[in-house]
Protein backbone atom coordinates (compact mmCIF):
# COMPACT_ATOMS: atom_id res chain seq x y z
CA UNK A 1 0.00 0.00 0.00
CA UNK A 2 1.45 3.36 -1.05
CA UNK A 3 1.32 5.70 1.96
CA UNK A 4 3.40 8.49 0.37
CA UNK A 5 1.09 10.50 -1.83
CA UNK A 6 -0.76 13.76 -2.31
CA UNK A 7 -4.51 14.03 -2.64
CA UNK A 8 -6.27 17.21 -3.76
CA UNK A 9 -9.89 17.80 -4.55
CA UNK A 10 -12.64 20.39 -4.77
CA UNK A 11 -13.17 22.15 -1.45
CA UNK A 12 -16.95 22.02 -1.41
CA UNK A 13 -19.20 19.44 -3.10
CA UNK A 14 -22.99 19.73 -2.88
CA UNK A 15 -24.81 16.57 -3.97
CA UNK A 16 -28.60 16.74 -3.88
CA UNK A 17 -31.42 16.65 -6.43
CA UNK A 18 -32.72 20.20 -6.79
CA UNK A 19 -29.56 21.79 -5.33
CA UNK A 20 -29.45 24.25 -8.24
CA UNK A 21 -31.81 26.27 -6.03
CA UNK A 22 -28.79 27.11 -3.83
CA UNK A 23 -26.94 28.88 -6.64
CA UNK A 24 -27.69 32.46 -5.54
CA UNK A 25 -26.60 31.60 -2.04
CA UNK A 26 -23.38 30.07 -3.31
CA UNK A 27 -22.65 33.14 -5.45
CA UNK A 28 -23.16 35.37 -2.43
CA UNK A 29 -20.83 33.30 -0.26
CA UNK A 30 -18.14 33.49 -2.95
CA UNK A 31 -18.81 37.24 -3.33
CA UNK A 32 -19.76 36.82 -6.97
CA UNK A 33 -21.92 39.71 -8.19
CA UNK A 34 -21.36 39.45 -11.94
CA UNK A 35 -21.09 35.80 -12.91
CA UNK A 36 -20.28 34.62 -16.42
CA UNK A 37 -22.21 31.43 -17.24
CA UNK A 38 -20.22 29.27 -19.68
CA UNK A 39 -22.29 26.69 -21.58
CA UNK A 40 -23.16 25.26 -25.01
CA UNK A 41 -26.07 25.31 -27.45
CA UNK A 42 -27.22 21.79 -26.46
CA UNK A 43 -27.84 23.09 -22.93
CA UNK A 44 -29.64 26.14 -24.32
CA UNK A 45 -31.93 24.14 -26.61
CA UNK A 46 -33.01 21.65 -23.95
CA UNK A 47 -34.07 24.49 -21.64
CA UNK A 48 -31.43 23.93 -18.97
CA UNK A 49 -29.85 27.36 -19.38
CA UNK A 50 -33.26 28.98 -18.79
CA UNK A 51 -33.58 26.95 -15.61
CA UNK A 52 -30.23 28.25 -14.36
CA UNK A 53 -30.96 31.84 -15.40
CA UNK A 54 -34.31 31.73 -13.67
CA UNK A 55 -32.62 30.57 -10.45
CA UNK A 56 -29.96 33.26 -10.77
CA UNK A 57 -32.61 35.93 -11.09
CA UNK A 58 -34.65 34.70 -8.15
CA UNK A 59 -33.67 36.98 -5.34
CA UNK A 60 -35.82 35.75 -2.52
CA UNK A 61 -34.33 37.06 0.73
CA UNK A 62 -31.54 38.76 -1.17
CA UNK A 63 -31.24 42.54 -0.69
CA UNK A 64 -31.48 44.55 -3.91
CA UNK A 65 -27.87 45.63 -3.44
CA UNK A 66 -26.85 41.98 -3.87
CA UNK A 67 -28.73 41.32 -7.12
CA UNK A 68 -26.64 39.44 -9.62
CA UNK A 69 -25.77 40.80 -13.07
CA UNK A 70 -25.47 37.68 -15.18
CA UNK A 71 -23.64 37.30 -18.52
CA UNK A 72 -23.78 34.20 -20.69
CA UNK A 73 -21.29 32.69 -23.10
CA UNK A 74 -23.22 29.86 -24.78
CA UNK A 75 -21.02 29.04 -27.77
CA UNK A 76 -18.88 26.22 -26.31
CA UNK A 77 -18.59 23.22 -28.65
CA UNK A 78 -17.62 19.62 -27.88
CA UNK A 79 -13.85 19.30 -27.46
CA UNK A 80 -13.43 23.11 -27.34
CA UNK A 81 -10.71 24.73 -29.44
CA UNK A 82 -8.50 27.59 -28.25
CA UNK A 83 -10.68 30.03 -30.20
CA UNK A 84 -13.64 29.19 -27.93
CA UNK A 85 -11.58 29.98 -24.84
CA UNK A 86 -10.44 33.30 -26.35
CA UNK A 87 -14.02 34.33 -27.18
CA UNK A 88 -15.35 33.43 -23.74
CA UNK A 89 -12.42 35.25 -22.15
CA UNK A 90 -13.00 38.36 -24.29
CA UNK A 91 -16.61 38.43 -23.15
CA UNK A 92 -15.63 38.03 -19.49
CA UNK A 93 -13.25 40.99 -19.85
CA UNK A 94 -15.83 43.16 -21.62
CA UNK A 95 -18.50 42.35 -19.04
CA UNK A 96 -16.04 42.70 -16.18
CA UNK A 97 -17.21 39.43 -14.61
CA UNK A 98 -16.14 38.61 -11.07
CA UNK A 99 -16.94 34.89 -11.10
CA UNK A 100 -17.46 32.02 -13.53
CA UNK A 101 -20.12 29.28 -13.58
CA UNK A 102 -19.34 26.29 -15.82
CA UNK A 103 -22.65 24.67 -16.73
CA UNK A 104 -22.77 21.56 -18.92
CA UNK A 105 -20.57 18.60 -19.77
CA UNK A 106 -16.77 18.44 -19.68
CA UNK A 107 -16.49 20.82 -22.63
CA UNK A 108 -18.33 23.70 -20.91
CA UNK A 109 -16.74 23.06 -17.51
CA UNK A 110 -13.21 22.92 -18.97
CA UNK A 111 -13.77 26.18 -20.85
CA UNK A 112 -15.07 27.84 -17.68
CA UNK A 113 -12.04 26.63 -15.70
CA UNK A 114 -9.53 28.10 -18.14
CA UNK A 115 -11.42 31.40 -18.43
CA UNK A 116 -11.51 31.75 -14.62
CA UNK A 117 -7.72 31.34 -14.50
CA UNK A 118 -6.87 33.58 -17.49
CA UNK A 119 -9.07 36.38 -16.08
CA UNK A 120 -6.61 36.72 -13.19
CA UNK A 121 -3.42 35.99 -15.09
CA UNK A 122 -0.69 37.83 -16.95
CA UNK A 123 0.06 34.60 -18.79
CA UNK A 124 -1.26 33.56 -22.21
CA UNK A 125 -3.14 30.32 -22.80
CA UNK A 126 -0.06 28.93 -24.51
CA UNK A 127 2.02 29.55 -21.38
CA UNK A 128 -0.23 27.55 -19.05
CA UNK A 129 -0.32 24.22 -20.96
CA UNK A 130 1.38 21.36 -19.15
CA UNK A 131 1.82 20.57 -15.49
CA UNK A 132 1.76 23.38 -12.90
CA UNK A 133 2.52 26.15 -15.38
CA UNK A 134 -0.35 28.46 -14.36
CA UNK A 135 0.60 31.15 -11.85
CA UNK A 136 -1.43 33.55 -9.75
CA UNK A 137 -5.04 33.09 -8.84
CA UNK A 138 -8.37 32.77 -10.57
CA UNK A 139 -11.87 34.17 -10.34
CA UNK A 140 -14.30 32.38 -8.00
CA UNK A 141 -15.47 29.29 -9.88
CA UNK A 142 -18.59 27.11 -9.61
CA UNK A 143 -18.94 23.97 -11.73
CA UNK A 144 -22.30 22.33 -12.39
CA UNK A 145 -22.09 19.10 -14.45
CA UNK A 146 -25.07 18.14 -16.61
CA UNK A 147 -23.52 14.83 -17.72
CA UNK A 148 -22.39 12.08 -15.34
CA UNK A 149 -19.09 11.58 -17.09
CA UNK A 150 -15.84 13.50 -17.06
CA UNK A 151 -15.75 14.42 -13.36
CA UNK A 152 -14.23 17.72 -14.53
CA UNK A 153 -15.87 19.40 -11.50
CA UNK A 154 -13.27 17.73 -9.28
CA UNK A 155 -10.23 17.48 -11.56
CA UNK A 156 -7.35 19.98 -11.77
CA UNK A 157 -7.39 19.40 -15.54
CA UNK A 158 -8.73 21.18 -18.61
CA UNK A 159 -8.45 19.73 -22.11
CA UNK A 160 -8.23 22.09 -25.08
CA UNK A 161 -8.19 21.19 -28.79
CA UNK A 162 -5.05 22.85 -30.13
CA UNK A 163 -4.88 21.73 -33.76
CA UNK A 164 -6.98 19.82 -36.25
CA UNK A 165 -6.53 16.53 -34.42
CA UNK A 166 -4.49 17.38 -31.33
CA UNK A 167 -5.45 18.23 -27.76
CA UNK A 168 -3.39 19.69 -24.93
CA UNK A 169 -3.97 19.52 -21.20
CA UNK A 170 -3.60 22.17 -18.53
CA UNK A 171 -2.90 20.63 -15.13
CA UNK A 172 -3.02 22.99 -12.19
CA UNK A 173 -4.62 23.02 -8.73
CA UNK A 174 -6.02 26.44 -9.76
CA UNK A 175 -8.47 24.56 -12.00
CA UNK A 176 -10.22 22.97 -9.03
CA UNK A 177 -13.39 25.02 -8.49
CA UNK A 178 -14.59 26.50 -5.20
CA UNK A 179 -17.86 24.59 -5.41
CA UNK A 180 -19.10 21.59 -7.41
CA UNK A 181 -22.87 21.27 -7.49
CA UNK A 182 -24.33 17.86 -8.38
CA UNK A 183 -28.03 18.13 -9.17
CA UNK A 184 -29.57 15.08 -10.88
CA UNK A 185 -32.57 17.12 -12.04
CA UNK A 186 -30.23 18.66 -14.62
CA UNK A 187 -29.38 15.28 -16.15
CA UNK A 188 -32.92 13.89 -16.58
CA UNK A 189 -33.09 14.85 -20.27
CA UNK A 190 -29.69 13.48 -21.20
CA UNK A 191 -30.30 11.14 -24.19
CA UNK A 192 -29.61 7.39 -23.59
CA UNK A 193 -26.59 7.29 -25.95
CA UNK A 194 -24.88 10.24 -24.24
CA UNK A 195 -25.85 8.80 -20.83
CA UNK A 196 -24.29 5.45 -21.74
CA UNK A 197 -21.10 6.83 -23.28
CA UNK A 198 -20.41 9.38 -20.53
CA UNK A 199 -21.21 6.72 -17.89
CA UNK A 200 -18.66 4.33 -19.40
CA UNK A 201 -16.13 7.21 -19.40
CA UNK A 202 -16.63 7.51 -15.63
CA UNK A 203 -16.24 3.76 -15.17
CA UNK A 204 -12.97 3.91 -17.11
CA UNK A 205 -11.77 6.75 -14.85
CA UNK A 206 -12.32 4.51 -11.82
CA UNK A 207 -10.81 1.38 -13.40
CA UNK A 208 -7.72 3.21 -14.68
CA UNK A 209 -7.25 5.09 -11.37
CA UNK A 210 -7.30 1.77 -9.50
CA UNK A 211 -4.65 0.24 -11.79
CA UNK A 212 -2.61 3.47 -12.15
CA UNK A 213 1.06 2.56 -11.92
CA UNK A 214 2.73 5.58 -10.31
CA UNK A 215 0.28 7.56 -8.19
CA UNK A 216 -2.13 4.84 -7.05
CA UNK A 217 -3.07 5.70 -3.46
CA UNK A 218 -5.51 4.55 -0.75
CA UNK A 219 -7.95 7.47 -1.19
CA UNK A 220 -8.23 6.97 -4.94
CA UNK A 221 -8.65 3.21 -4.43
CA UNK A 222 -11.56 3.74 -2.04
CA UNK A 223 -13.19 6.28 -4.33
CA UNK A 224 -12.73 4.10 -7.42
CA UNK A 225 -14.47 1.12 -5.78
CA UNK A 226 -17.45 3.13 -4.55
CA UNK A 227 -17.65 4.93 -7.90
CA UNK A 228 -17.77 1.60 -9.74
CA UNK A 229 -20.47 0.27 -7.39
CA UNK A 230 -22.66 3.33 -7.98
CA UNK A 231 -22.03 3.54 -11.73
CA UNK A 232 -22.43 -0.19 -12.42
CA UNK A 233 -25.65 -0.45 -10.40
CA UNK A 234 -27.23 2.55 -12.08
CA UNK A 235 -25.96 2.88 -15.64
CA UNK A 236 -28.51 0.49 -17.16
CA UNK A 237 -31.32 1.91 -15.02
CA UNK A 238 -30.75 5.48 -16.26
CA UNK A 239 -30.42 4.38 -19.89
CA UNK A 240 -33.81 2.68 -19.65
CA UNK A 241 -35.54 5.27 -17.47
CA UNK A 242 -33.90 8.67 -17.84
CA UNK A 243 -36.33 10.21 -15.34
CA UNK A 244 -35.25 8.10 -12.38
CA UNK A 245 -33.90 10.92 -10.19
CA UNK A 246 -32.30 8.67 -7.57
CA UNK A 247 -30.43 6.62 -10.17
CA UNK A 248 -29.39 9.82 -11.96
CA UNK A 249 -28.06 11.27 -8.66
CA UNK A 250 -26.13 8.04 -8.05
CA UNK A 251 -24.58 8.36 -11.51
CA UNK A 252 -23.56 12.00 -10.88
CA UNK A 253 -22.03 11.02 -7.56
CA UNK A 254 -20.29 7.99 -9.11
CA UNK A 255 -18.83 10.19 -11.85
CA UNK A 256 -17.67 12.69 -9.24
CA UNK A 257 -16.01 10.01 -7.07
CA UNK A 258 -14.33 8.54 -10.15
CA UNK A 259 -13.16 12.06 -11.05
CA UNK A 260 -11.63 12.50 -7.60
CA UNK A 261 -9.92 9.11 -7.97
CA UNK A 262 -8.30 9.75 -11.35
CA UNK A 263 -7.45 13.37 -10.54
CA UNK A 264 -4.99 11.88 -8.03
CA UNK A 265 -4.15 8.52 -9.68
CA UNK A 266 -4.17 9.34 -13.40
CA UNK A 267 -5.73 7.42 -16.27
CA UNK A 268 -3.67 5.35 -18.68
CA UNK A 269 -3.80 3.34 -21.92
CA UNK A 270 -7.59 3.32 -22.40
CA UNK A 271 -7.57 7.12 -22.52
CA UNK A 272 -4.31 7.21 -24.54
CA UNK A 273 -5.93 5.07 -27.25
CA UNK A 274 -9.27 6.89 -27.00
CA UNK A 275 -7.88 10.39 -27.64
CA UNK A 276 -6.79 9.79 -31.28
CA UNK A 277 -10.28 8.41 -32.04
CA UNK A 278 -11.78 11.68 -30.80
CA UNK A 279 -9.13 13.78 -32.52
CA UNK A 280 -9.36 12.19 -35.99
CA UNK A 281 -12.96 11.01 -36.18
CA UNK A 282 -14.81 13.26 -33.68
CA UNK A 283 -16.04 10.21 -31.81
CA UNK A 284 -17.38 11.46 -28.43
CA UNK A 285 -14.91 10.99 -25.58
CA UNK A 286 -16.93 8.37 -23.67
CA UNK A 287 -17.62 6.28 -26.75
CA UNK A 288 -13.93 6.38 -27.75
CA UNK A 289 -13.10 4.93 -24.34
CA UNK A 290 -15.81 2.30 -24.60
CA UNK A 291 -14.54 1.11 -28.01
CA UNK A 292 -11.06 0.26 -26.69
CA UNK A 293 -11.77 -0.60 -23.02
CA UNK A 294 -12.20 -4.42 -23.21
CA UNK A 295 -9.19 -4.76 -25.54
CA UNK A 296 -6.87 -2.71 -23.32
CA UNK A 297 -8.00 -4.74 -20.29
CA UNK A 298 -7.26 -7.98 -22.15
CA UNK A 299 -3.78 -6.63 -22.98
CA UNK A 300 -3.19 -5.52 -19.37
CA UNK A 301 -4.37 -8.83 -17.92
CA UNK A 302 -0.87 -10.27 -17.46
CA UNK A 303 0.06 -7.35 -15.18
CA UNK A 304 -3.23 -6.19 -13.68
CA UNK A 305 -5.31 -9.35 -13.13
CA UNK A 306 -4.97 -9.05 -9.38
CA UNK A 307 -6.26 -5.44 -9.38
CA UNK A 308 -9.00 -6.17 -11.92
CA UNK A 309 -10.20 -9.08 -9.82
CA UNK A 310 -10.38 -6.80 -6.75
CA UNK A 311 -12.69 -4.51 -8.75
CA UNK A 312 -14.85 -7.29 -10.21
CA UNK A 313 -17.37 -7.54 -7.32
CA UNK A 314 -17.96 -3.76 -7.45
CA UNK A 315 -18.81 -3.99 -11.16
CA UNK A 316 -20.97 -7.11 -11.06
CA UNK A 317 -22.21 -9.25 -8.20
CA UNK A 318 -22.66 -12.16 -10.58
CA UNK A 319 -18.94 -12.70 -11.21
CA UNK A 320 -17.60 -15.77 -9.46
CA UNK A 321 -14.77 -14.48 -7.25
CA UNK A 322 -13.83 -17.99 -6.02
CA UNK A 323 -11.50 -18.69 -8.95
CA UNK A 324 -8.06 -17.59 -10.20
CA UNK A 325 -7.40 -13.89 -10.74
CA UNK A 326 -6.97 -14.58 -14.46
CA UNK A 327 -10.38 -16.27 -14.65
CA UNK A 328 -12.08 -13.50 -12.63
CA UNK A 329 -10.53 -10.96 -15.03
CA UNK A 330 -11.74 -12.93 -18.05
CA UNK A 331 -15.25 -12.96 -16.60
CA UNK A 332 -15.04 -9.24 -15.82
CA UNK A 333 -13.99 -8.36 -19.39
CA UNK A 334 -16.79 -10.56 -20.72
CA UNK A 335 -19.25 -8.78 -18.39
CA UNK A 336 -18.08 -5.33 -19.54
CA UNK A 337 -18.44 -6.36 -23.20
CA UNK A 338 -21.98 -7.52 -22.43
CA UNK A 339 -22.74 -4.24 -20.64
CA UNK A 340 -21.55 -2.17 -23.62
CA UNK A 341 -23.76 -4.33 -25.87
CA UNK A 342 -26.80 -3.94 -23.60
CA UNK A 343 -26.25 -0.16 -23.57
CA UNK A 344 -26.54 -0.32 -27.38
CA UNK A 345 -23.23 1.48 -27.91
CA UNK A 346 -21.27 0.75 -31.11
CA UNK A 347 -18.65 -1.88 -30.35
CA UNK A 348 -16.11 -1.87 -33.18
CA UNK A 349 -13.97 0.67 -34.98
CA UNK A 350 -15.33 -0.82 -38.20
CA UNK A 351 -18.86 0.27 -37.22
CA UNK A 352 -17.45 3.79 -36.75
CA UNK A 353 -16.41 3.75 -40.45
CA UNK A 354 -12.72 3.79 -39.64
CA UNK A 355 -10.53 2.19 -42.35
CA UNK A 356 -8.15 -0.61 -41.36
CA UNK A 357 -5.37 1.30 -43.17
CA UNK A 358 -5.81 4.16 -40.66
CA UNK A 359 -4.91 2.04 -37.63
CA UNK A 360 -1.12 2.62 -37.87
CA UNK A 361 -1.71 6.38 -37.93
CA UNK A 362 -3.92 6.09 -34.82
CA UNK A 363 -1.29 3.93 -33.11
CA UNK A 364 1.41 6.50 -33.83
CA UNK A 365 -0.76 9.22 -32.29
CA UNK A 366 -1.61 7.13 -29.22
CA UNK A 367 2.12 6.59 -28.60
CA UNK A 368 2.46 10.39 -28.26
CA UNK A 369 0.24 10.27 -25.14
CA UNK A 370 3.25 9.54 -22.95
CA UNK A 371 1.69 11.52 -20.03
CA UNK A 372 -0.99 8.81 -19.89
CA UNK A 373 0.93 5.72 -21.03
CA UNK A 374 3.40 5.98 -18.14
CA UNK A 375 0.48 5.24 -15.78
CA UNK A 376 -0.43 1.98 -17.49
CA UNK A 377 0.16 -1.14 -15.37
CA UNK A 378 1.95 -2.77 -18.32
CA UNK A 379 4.50 -1.12 -20.66
CA UNK A 380 2.99 -0.38 -24.05
CA UNK A 381 4.87 -0.45 -27.38
CA UNK A 382 3.76 0.77 -30.80
CA UNK A 383 3.21 -2.87 -31.84
CA UNK A 384 1.02 -3.44 -28.75
CA UNK A 385 -1.10 -0.38 -29.47
CA UNK A 386 -1.55 -1.39 -33.10
CA UNK A 387 -2.60 -4.90 -32.01
CA UNK A 388 -5.15 -3.42 -29.54
CA UNK A 389 -6.63 -1.19 -32.28
CA UNK A 390 -6.76 -4.24 -34.59
CA UNK A 391 -8.66 -6.18 -31.94
CA UNK A 392 -11.00 -3.19 -31.45
CA UNK A 393 -11.51 -2.97 -35.22
CA UNK A 394 -13.66 -6.09 -35.20
CA UNK A 395 -13.85 -9.08 -37.47
N1 LIG B 1 -11.33 18.11 -17.22
C2 LIG B 1 -11.25 16.81 -17.18
O3 LIG B 1 -10.82 16.24 -16.19
C4 LIG B 1 -11.73 16.01 -18.34
C5 LIG B 1 -11.70 14.62 -18.28
C6 LIG B 1 -12.15 13.90 -19.38
C7 LIG B 1 -12.60 14.57 -20.51
N8 LIG B 1 -12.60 15.93 -20.56
C9 LIG B 1 -13.09 16.69 -21.72
O10 LIG B 1 -14.50 16.85 -21.56
C11 LIG B 1 -15.11 16.91 -22.86
C12 LIG B 1 -16.22 15.88 -22.98
O13 LIG B 1 -17.21 16.15 -22.04
P14 LIG B 1 -18.62 15.37 -22.00
O15 LIG B 1 -18.38 13.94 -22.33
O16 LIG B 1 -19.27 15.70 -20.71
O17 LIG B 1 -19.42 15.99 -23.23
P18 LIG B 1 -19.70 17.48 -23.72
O19 LIG B 1 -19.50 18.50 -22.67
O20 LIG B 1 -18.92 17.68 -24.98
O21 LIG B 1 -21.27 17.42 -24.05
C22 LIG B 1 -21.76 16.50 -24.99
C23 LIG B 1 -23.13 16.92 -25.49
O24 LIG B 1 -24.12 16.62 -24.52
C25 LIG B 1 -25.02 17.73 -24.37
N26 LIG B 1 -25.55 17.72 -23.01
C27 LIG B 1 -24.84 17.86 -21.86
N28 LIG B 1 -25.66 17.75 -20.80
C29 LIG B 1 -26.90 17.55 -21.28
C30 LIG B 1 -28.18 17.35 -20.66
N31 LIG B 1 -28.29 17.30 -19.34
N32 LIG B 1 -29.25 17.17 -21.45
C33 LIG B 1 -29.13 17.17 -22.80
N34 LIG B 1 -27.95 17.33 -23.44
C35 LIG B 1 -26.85 17.53 -22.69
C36 LIG B 1 -24.17 18.94 -24.67
O37 LIG B 1 -24.96 20.02 -25.10
C38 LIG B 1 -23.28 18.42 -25.78
O39 LIG B 1 -23.91 18.56 -27.04
C40 LIG B 1 -13.99 16.71 -23.86
O41 LIG B 1 -13.52 17.99 -24.30
C42 LIG B 1 -12.92 16.01 -23.05
O43 LIG B 1 -11.62 16.20 -23.58
C44 LIG B 1 -12.19 16.65 -19.48
FE1 LIG C 1 -12.33 10.38 -19.64
What does the pLDDT look like over 247-293, one tens digit per residue?
A: 999 999 999 999 999 999 999 999 999 999 998 999 999 999 999 99
Percent of the chain at pLDDT above 90? Answer: 93
Ligand that comes closest to the CA of residue 147? 1
Listed residue (46, 50, 24) closest to 35, CA to CA: 24
Evaluate if residue 127 carries a pLDDT over 80: yes
CA of 275, closest atom in ligand 1: 43
- Read off the pTM: 0.96
Residue nearest to atom 9 of ligand 1 (CA): 106
> How many Å apart are CA 321 and CA 297, to the nearest integer?
18
pLDDT tens-digit readout, 322-379: 999 999 999 999 999 999 999 999 999 999 999 999 999 999 999 999 999 999 999 9
262 CA to centre of ligand 2 in angstroms: 9
Q: What is the pLDDT at residue 164?
A: 81
Q: Does ligand 1 have an atom closer than 6 angstroms to the CB of 377?
A: no
pLDDT tens-digit readout, 66-113: 689 999 999 999 989 999 999 999 999 999 999 999 999 999 999 999
Average of per-residue pLDDT values in the chain: 96
CA of 262, closest atom in ligand 1: 3
> How many Å apart are CA 188 and CA 185, to the nearest integer?
6
Q: Does ligand 1 have an atom closer than 6 angstroms to the CB of 264?
A: no
Q: Does ligand 1 have an atom closer than 6 angstroms to the CB of 153?
A: no
Q: What is the DSSP annotation of 46-108?
A: TTHHHHHHHHHT--TT--GGG----EEEEEE-SS-BHHHHHHHHHHHHHTT-SEEEEEESHHH
Q: Which residues pair with residue 143 across a beta bridge? A: 102, 180
pLDDT tens-digit readout, 281-337: 999 999 999 999 999 999 999 999 999 999 999 999 999 999 999 999 999 999 999
> How many Å apart are CA 153 and CA 385, to the nearest integer?
31
Q: What is the pLDDT at residue 216?
A: 96
> How many Å apart are CA 184 and CA 148, to the nearest integer?
9
Contact yes or no for 228/206 (Cβ under 8 A): yes
Q: Which residues of 295-311 are buried (b: 16+ CB within 10 A; e: fewer)?
A: bbbebbbeebbebbbbb
Contact yes or no for 68/24 (Cβ under 8 A): yes
Contact yes or no for 51/125 (Cβ under 8 A): no
Evaluate if residue 64 carries a pLDDT over 70: no
Ligand that comes closest to the CA of residue 264? 1
Helix H, strand E, coil C: the string for 198-224 is HHHHHHHHHHHHHCCCCCCCHHHHHHH
Residues in the chain: 395
Q: What is the pLDDT at residue 67?
A: 82
Evaluate if residue 60 carries a pLDDT over 80: no
Return the best residue to mutate from 102, 104, 257 for the ligand 1 pocket (most ligand atoms within 8 A of CB): 104
Q: What is the pLDDT at residue 61?
A: 62
338 CA to centre of ligand 1 in angstroms: 25
Residues by chain with Cβ below 5 Å of ion ligand 2: 201
Q: 166: pLDDT confidence band, cut at 50, 70 and 90?
A: confident
Percent of the chain at pLDDT above 70? Answer: 98
> How many Å apart are CA 352 and CA 327, to the nearest integer?
31
| Mean pLDDT on 4-31 | 96
Evaluate if residue 176 carries a pLDDT over 80: yes
CA of 186, closest atom in ligand 1: 31
Amino acid sequence: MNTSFQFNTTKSIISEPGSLRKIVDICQKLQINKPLVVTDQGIVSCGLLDKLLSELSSHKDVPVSHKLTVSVYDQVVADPQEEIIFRALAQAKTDNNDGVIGFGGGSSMDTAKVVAVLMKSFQTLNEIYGVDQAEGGRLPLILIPTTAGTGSEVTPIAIVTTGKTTKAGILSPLLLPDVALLDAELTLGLPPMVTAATGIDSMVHAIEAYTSKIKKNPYSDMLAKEALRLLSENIEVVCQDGNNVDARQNMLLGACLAGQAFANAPVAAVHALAYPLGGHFHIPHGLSNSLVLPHVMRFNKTHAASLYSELAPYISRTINTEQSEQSITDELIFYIEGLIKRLLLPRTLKEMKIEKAQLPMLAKDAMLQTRLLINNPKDVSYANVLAIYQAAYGA
